[in-house]
Amino acid sequence: GESVGLHLPTLSVQEGDNSIINCAYSNSASDYFIWYKQESGKGPQFIIDIRSNMDKRQGQRVTVLLNKTVKHLSLQIAATQPGDSAVYFCAENIGHYKLSFGAGTTVTVRA
């Protein structure tokens, strides 16, 4: 079936460097994508979203890029901080704003 997936399960990044987290999706009809951050012991928290009529959207220290040609989504975190250590999930709208989630990438920030 169609699903959302992340390229790598883990990412280790030096504090202050930029992080890039990738996600591949297969449902070409998806029109809305979201990145969530989940810290230990907490529920997922919204980071940023993007609609399919856009290819880039920026937030505070984060940028989401959408490449519909290759069905690829990425989250870039600028100047990664220790508080950015978490599991990051991409999710796509599979209809009526039901979300299909990828497996997650665990980001660890090295001091």
Provide the binding-site residues for another protein, judged by CB under 8 A.
4, 9, 34, 36, 41-46, 49, 89, 91, 96-104
Query: Which of residues 76 and 106 has its CB atom nearest to another protein in the complex?
Result: 106
- Residue 20 or 94: which CB sits closer to another protein? 94
Cβ within 8 Å of residue 8, ≥6 positions away: 21, 22, 105
Question: Contact, 106 vs 20, CB < 8 A?
Answer: no
- What length is written for the chain? 111
The distance of Cα 92 from the centroid of its chain, to the nearest Å, equals: 10
- Shortest Å distance, C-beta 28 to another protein: 19
Q: How far is the CB of 43 from another protein (least distance, A)?
A: 3
